[in-house]
Structure 1
Amino acid sequence: MATKLSRYRKSGSRTAMARNHSQYTLRSYFTSPYFTLLTRGTMDTVITVLLLLSVAFLAGRIQQGRQRLPPGPKGWPVLGNLWSMPKNFDWLTYQKWSREFDSDIIYLRMFRTNVIVLNSHRAVRDLLDSRSNIYSDREQMVMMNTLMGWDINFAFKSYGEQWREQRRSFHQIFTPSVVTQYRPRISSEAGKLLKRLIDDPEDFMDHIRTTTGAIILGITYGMKIRGLKDPYVVLAENALHAMAMAGNAGSYLVDSFPVLRHLPDWFPGTKFKREASEWNGYVSQMFNQPFEIIRQKLDNGEAESSILGSLLTRLDPDKDNSHEERVIRGITGAAYTGGADTTVSSFQTFILAMLHYPEVQKKAHEELDRIVGADRLPEFEDKDRLPYIMGIMIETLRWRNVLPLAIPHRLMVDDEYKGYHLPAGSLIVANTWAILHDESKYPNPDVFDPSRYLKPDGQLDPNAPAPTEAAFGYGRRICPGRHFAMESLWVLIVYVLATLRIDKAKDADGKVIEPSGEYTSGMLSYPVRYKASFIPRSAASNTLIENLSLID
């Protein structure tokens, strides 16, 4: 079963197909007819281009040859590791190379771009955490940041004053103490989800997306969701799909050759520009539409209580607030981005785990019946008394993490580590998948086992490896919204477990439909669509659910 669950989808899903066919990766670009057209010209031009590339390559190799770089797969002159870069599920290939070279740090090169992949918690701790002053920059990827417009999100900004200002403002509205103020909204939307799961299990994955969207839109903008496929939920889905396509190193040729962005749209090989234009529209709308709508409602005295409303009303109307509004627009859009999809993937992973590990669900039901009973829903105050439920949430974040490769950091100066030279400007990729599937820390890592975080007496073990340290990023770039994300995920998990039994779906002939356990590839990873059924655990549970569905 564990082997089956560890498979990752190679094609057929929206994300995987888009990555394979729509996206111009470095390798696919050079094997396409477009590149043939681009290089069709006089022999003198071709020779000149090759000569310049070769000179640049040799100059770089001579300089690097004086230094000892980390081990990695052998590359080609000029192209580097272009041909050996994985097309899908990069994290699995990086993990395999780490084992083959017996090194938790490996080196790759794509043209003149150096990539350092960290495959262990120790390497991440030593570099991204302990040396965060030089490892906290971001590479300004042309496709995603410039053409698609993701530079508005401070998570992708360069390390500097703009990033510090926006992160500081974001942190202030999502500290652990402030997050407690959002609990009523989280609980309300989680309660509404239960009825939807029972009535329409066929679309349960869409209902999960709707619920998480309702939570973050309500808290951030004071907006209410207009049912399944709400336009703002769909907008976030489209924008985040674009991020998944372009976020990993080597996704687009224009990131290595920025000059390509200046080619006319009709020029062969510029499909990336059309894709960027379409995706830029989604990103721009996601950051701007809700902002403008709520600002207008504030002016009319019609706005609901929200983070955005609170921030805007603090501004001095007699001053030029254009800078402050840009900051507010950025941080509320970042909250919309972070809350709209990461919780979706994690909660869908939880449902999948319950289908494949019914014994875990049974233990969770027993704990809830013993501690909470059947006549009420669990409350936040019950959290410390439900260690097994907490173990389930933590294991969900580890077992199939949302970002298998953390957003790449950028090394700001030359550095040395374990006798290796790490060149300035290198992309530093933390292989979170490898870290959270390290057998020395997590025995049988492909098995979903919440008890790995518990002591023999059933209480949480404070000395157990904490995957939450890796699931939300590293160093100064750790996700500042992680406390809110974990609060939301805990409520969704505990509400479902307290009231419902999660079973495998059956077809018209009564035959069980087995979930594939496959996931999509890309910067963000989601379970491939699967089916499930949801049944009230008791008459008391059904009454609770019916009463919750009546609350607006």
Structure 2
Amino acid sequence: MDSPALSFLSGEREKAILLVVLLATILIFKRKWSTKKFQLPLPPGPKKLPLLGNILDMPKKFEWLAFASWGKEFNSDIIHLSVAGSDFIVLNSVKAANELFEVRSANYSSRPQFKVLNDLMGWDWLISSMPYGDAWRDRRKLFNDYLHPSMTQNYQPAQVEFIRKMLVQLIDSPEAFRATLRHTIGGIAHTMAYALPLKAENDPYIIQAEEATGSILEATTPGAYMVEVVPPLRYLPKWFPGADFQRRLPYNISLQKEFRNKPFEDVVERMAAGTAKPCLVTTCLSQLDEGQDTAKETVVIKDTAAIVFAGGADTTVSGTSSFFLTMLHYPWVQTKAQEELDRVLGPPGTRLPDFNDAADLPYVTAVVKEILRWGPATPTGIAHLASEEDVYEGYRIPKGSMVFGNTWAMLRDEKEYPDPDTFNPERWLKDGKLNPDVQDPTVAAFGFGRRQCPGSHVAVDALWILAATVLATIRVSKPLDKNGNPFEQEIEYLTGLMCHPAPFKCTIKPRSKKAEVLIRSVAEE
């Protein structure tokens, strides 16, 4: 997703500036005369213009870099920005995030009102954007029950199967490795939720999930739609300049409905025919009391299955793409991990790793931890809502503020992670073993408080078994130019709420003839 994040200057400023000024005047006047704590200072931040606030300071892309830079400039782990009367709070440290999102979770567990995503597109059933309340709790409880850490082993066989069968596609079509990764990770998530038959390539369920997550990410990227700041813009006709969101609405609404309903209905049909396979939908529906009105519970099951499918795919795809990127640019890391795997498994092609090998592969685990730290999938995450006015470190946090945890800054903290910009799995090890004294990346990589991703352990498992399986059998290297020299490429990421590596090329080959035989034999099973 490469739509500019937190940018209010992408072609709509001239068309809506008068509305912004009017709205800002009303909101600022109202706040000034209503708050009882106005004498307390707001957190530091860039200097604000009258009425417009920081609208000209908002970065068009990679906003987490600007947020971290401002934190250093003002020597503060909490900063404040104002856009047309709306307050943005950014937390640049784990300490601040824990205090607000964990200790004071009652005040920071809700979400801002996503006018485009929820009100216009109809994605108001997503727990990631749903306000804190009974509907959110119903879906979150089912999500937690089904993806509880004690249930992890139930999903490992599907992870192993999909990833092992992925290997032959990688070596036969290395130029399409990113599509292969998306299909593999999407297939794992789909199997957990629905367990419907999937095509080997270009499966319509997987394609629809990619389109759906793209629509969600675009709509939740702050600044992507001016209507989020100026709500009256929602009433503009489709032909009006700046109303491009109106022209895309019919397709996005149709996509939302299809994604939510179609796979669920297909599973229900298979249950009636006796051909459905065990999954979230079948397990939960079979537990309903047939003698009671279960309409509400059925909707919760339908929504939760769709959330597992969508959420399980996109964040893990980001991590697996980062894995290939880092192996390409840090070949010595790849070599060291493969040496460890060869000591445990035998020479390439002897056997494939499984989860029982994890205790004997600390360096591979360190590689996975470093991927989560170095290339976080959601650098700023989705905003939390300050339900009531609050005070932190002597600074006032106004009621209704959108509060972001800058995951990127937290996982680049030089005090916790020396030389943080360098990809270095060694930082997680001490005397050849995992060092428990190093702050684990999951403190920030999967969100905070009651909004933390409940399936994070499943995502980490998928990334670990993928990394171990690929490293055991395949060598990732730089492609060669026409003169036979390695083709150099920059390390680049796309901006957006969900951060993926920019497209890059790599050479993917079996580590040995014996490894290729093993790869092809697994594909035929």
**TM-score tier (shorter):** over 0.9
Q: What residue identity is the alignment partner of 1:425?
A: G
Write the distance in 1 (CA, Å) between the matches of 2:420 and 2:7: 31
Deviation at 1:133, TM superposition (A): 1.4
Write the distance in 2 (CA, Å) between the matches of 1:228 and 1:25: 36
Deviation at 1:174, TM superposition (A): 0.7
Deviation at 1:61, TM superposition (A): 4.2
Alignment of 1:407-418 (within 5 A): 407-418=382-393
Match of 1:232 in 2: 205
Structure 1 residues 51 and 289: CA distance shift in structure 2, 3 A: closer
Structure 1 position 31 matched with structure 2 position 2? no
1:309-336, CA deviations, whole angstroms, 9 ceiling, x for partnerless residues? 1111222334332111110111111101
Deviation at 1:53, TM superposition (A): 5.0
Write the distance in 1 (CA, Å) between the matches of 2:171 and 2:276: 33
Write the distance in 2 (CA, Å) between the matches of 1:398 and 1:280: 35
Structure 1 position 109 matched with structure 2 position 82? yes
The question of whether the paired residues in 2 share the 8 Å contact of 1:233 and 1:340 is answered with no
Alignment of 1:106-505 (within 5 A): 106-374=79-347, 375-455=350-430, 457-505=431-479
Q: Secondary structure at the match of 2:128?
A: helix
Provide the TM-score with structure 1 as the length reference.
0.90
Write the distance in 1 (CA, Å) between the matches of 2:281 and 2:480: 44
Structure 1 residues 322 and 96: CA distance shift in structure 2, 3 A: same
1:144-169, CA deviations, whole angstroms, 9 ceiling, x for partnerless residues? 22222222111211111211111111
Q: What residue identity is the alignment partner of 1:487?
A: D
Deviation at 1:65, TM superposition (A): 4.7
Match of 1:42 in 2: none
Match of 2:73 in 1: 100
Write the distance in 1 (CA, Å) between the matches of 2:22 and 2:285: 56
Deviation at 1:35, TM superposition (A): 3.9
Structure 1 position 73 matched with structure 2 position 55? no
Deviation at 1:55, TM superposition (A): 4.8
Write the distance in 1 (CA, Å) between the matches of 2:276 and 2:488: 46
Deviation at 1:25, TM superposition (A): 5.0
The question of whether the paired residues in 2 share the 8 Å contact of 1:143 and 1:276 is answered with no
Provide the TM-score with structure 2 as the length reference.
0.95
The alignment covers a number of residue pairs equal to: 521
Q: Secondary structure at the match of 1:134?
A: helix
Match of 1:7 in 2: none
Match of 1:6 in 2: none
Write the distance in 1 (CA, Å) between the matches of 2:141 and 2:22: 48
Q: Secondary structure at the match of 1:27?
A: coil
Deviation at 1:529, TM superposition (A): 0.9
Calculate the aligned-residue CA RMSD, in Å: 2.0
The question of whether the paired residues in 2 share the 8 Å contact of 1:391 and 1:450 is answered with yes
Structure 1 residues 30 and 543: CA distance shift in structure 2, 3 A: closer
Write the distance in 2 (CA, Å) between the matches of 1:515 and 1:549: 32
Q: What residue identity is the alignment partner of 1:468?
A: T
Write the distance in 2 (CA, Å) between the matches of 1:219 and 1:335: 8
Write the distance in 2 (CA, Å) between the matches of 1:19 and 1:71: 24
Q: What residue identity is the alignment partner of 2:440?
A: A
Structure 1 position 54 matched with structure 2 position 36? no
Q: Secondary structure at the match of 2:509?
A: strand
Q: What residue identity is the alignment partner of 1:229?
A: N
Write the distance in 2 (CA, Å) between the matches of 1:51 and 1:290: 45
Aligned-pair identity (%): 40
More divergent stretch after superposition (503-512 vs 533-542): 503-512
Match of 2:484 in 1: 510
Alignment of 1:79-98 (within 5 A): 79-98=52-71
Q: Secondary structure at the match of 1:471?
A: coil
Deviation at 1:51, TM superposition (A): 6.6
Write the distance in 2 (CA, Å) between the matches of 1:255 and 1:55: 16
Q: What residue identity is the alignment partner of 2:290?
A: P
Q: What residue identity is the alignment partner of 1:306?
A: C
Write the distance in 2 (CA, Å) between the matches of 1:55 and 1:127: 29
The question of whether the paired residues in 1 share the 8 Å contact of 2:23 and 2:84 is answered with no
Q: Secondary structure at the match of 2:422?
A: coil
Deviation at 1:340, TM superposition (A): 1.4
More divergent stretch after superposition (93-102 vs 253-262): 253-262
Gap regions ≥5 residues in structure 1:
1-14, 40-45
The question of whether the paired residues in 1 share the 8 Å contact of 2:23 and 2:85 is answered with no
More divergent stretch after superposition (534-543 vs 355-364): 534-543
Structure 1 residues 416 and 502: CA distance shift in structure 2, 3 A: same
The question of whether the paired residues in 2 share the 8 Å contact of 1:243 and 1:523 is answered with no
